[in-house]
Amino acid sequence: MGGFTSHAGAPGKSFRGFLSHHGLVVSGGILGLIFIGAVFAPLLSAYDPYTQDLANRHIPPVWYERGTWEHFLGTDALGRDYWTRLLYGARASLFIGFVSATIAGLLGVALGVSAGYFGGRVDAAITFLINLRLSLPVILVALAVVALFSGTFLVIVVLLGCLLWDRYAVVTRTLTKQLKEKEFIASSVALGSSRTGIIAKDILPNLANHLIVVWTLEIAHAILLEAALSFLGLGVQPPTPSWGLMVSEGKDLLFFEGWLIAIPGCALFLLVLSINLVGDGIRDVTAPENLT
């Protein structure tokens, strides 16, 4: 926490740092592949994720006896190509993860920085809000809201955005409080900078590397929550592909066609793991102590 600076670190140096951090390179690679898969899904698969083929249900992946290269990850209960569903499902996961973590970030940072910078009554009010939010069990609130308003994409994104801001607020509030006491902030005040200017130019850049870590944690958190909601039948609604939904649809055949669950399960595991590792890596590389 000691290394706050009055300006952002040198970009060239940090880029070299990125490449020399093995965890970051590997996890970034996996995340990149998933991202490319999601974006270029129509090019990477010859099938439509919604087209059913009832005569070809539950074809196992290619490494099983009955598997074929035509559907190398097999087909689901309605004969839809599993690889295609997986690619399009990545879109749902990534979109919900990124957008809701970002909404939560905007909310949490605004609240946390205000509380830390202004202190006093503002701080008391925002601390109360944070405590209130921390006392609410996320999954329960999410279940109730989705049951009320149905599980459309918009509802889930906004809901998760409104539920996952607490960590941002706690971190930024504490850090802003510490930063406020630093000499460079005092100099800015003495030079006549406005409050907005100080927050935008002096405080936020110094929070950036911490925020990246929280952001990645929350992306992973949101992705898992979406999967959990979809698994419970309250998240993304069929026939839209979603990894949580795929696990849910496969669970009836858990004892017989384990791959139906294993494939989307592994995909979820890899995505969440890679996002977390990327967050860790970026923090390592951009931490001020590593830049000097």
Partner 1 sequence: MYAKKMILVAALLGCGALHSAWAGKNDDTLRIGFTRESDTLDVYFNATREGVVMAHLIWDALLWRNPKTGQYQPGLADEWAFIDNQTLEFKLKRGVKFHNGEKFDADDVVYTMNWISNPENGVKARRFVDWIKVAEKVDSNTVRIIAKKPFPAALEMLSNLLVIYPNEYHAEAGPDLFGRAPVGTGPYAVTDVDIGKKITFRANREYFGGSKGAPAIGNIVVSNFSDKNTLLAEVLTGRIDWMWNVPADQAEKLQNNPQLQVVNESTMRIGFVVMDAVGRSGDTPFTKRKVRQAVAHAINREAIVKHLVKGRSTVIHSACFPTQIGCEQSVRKYEYNPDKARRLLDEAGYPDGFRVDLHANRDRPYVEAILSDLQEVGIDANLVYIKWPALREKRRAGKVALQHTTWGSYSVNDVSAVTSVFFSDNPDDYAHDRQVRQWLAEGDNNTDLEVRKAAYSKALRRIAEQAYWVPTWTYNVNYVFSKDLNFTPDYDEYPRFYQSYWN
Handedness of CA 113, 117, 123, 127 (dihedral sign): positive
Cβ distance to partner 1 smaller for residue 136 or 254: 254
Q: Nearest approach, Cβ of 245 to partner 1 (angstroms)? A: 10
Q: Which two tokens stand for residue 151?
A: 């599980």
Q: State which amino acid sits at residue 237.
A: Q
Q: State which amino acid sits at residue 62.
A: V
Cβ distance to partner 1 smaller for residue 76 or 202: 76
Q: Nearest approach, Cβ of 157 to partner 1 (angstroms)? A: 18
d(CA 165, CA 115): 14
Handedness of CA 209, 213, 218, 224 (dihedral sign): positive
Distance of CA 112 to the CA centre of its chain: 20
Cβ distance to partner 1 smaller for residue 111 or 156: 156
Q: Nearest approach, Cβ of 87 to partner 1 (angstroms)? A: 19
Q: Nearest approach, Cβ of 141 to partner 1 (angstroms)? A: 19
For helices 153-163 and 82-118, give the axis angle rounded to 10 degrees. 40
Ranges of beta strands (E only) in 93-241 are none
Q: Nearest approach, Cβ of 244 to partner 1 (angstroms)? A: 14
Cβ distance to partner 1 smaller for residue 52 or 193: 52
Cβ distance to partner 1 smaller for residue 57 or 177: 57
Q: Nearest approach, Cβ of 165 to partner 1 (angstroms)? A: 30
Beta bridge partners of 81: 75
Give the residues lining the site for partner 1 (CB under 8 A): 50-52, 54-55, 57-58, 65, 77-79, 150, 233, 237-239, 249, 251-256, 258
For 75, the 3-state DSSP assignment is strand
Cβ distance to partner 1 smaller for residue 148 or 191: 148
| Nearest of 214, 216, 266, 240 to residue 97 by alpha carbon | 216
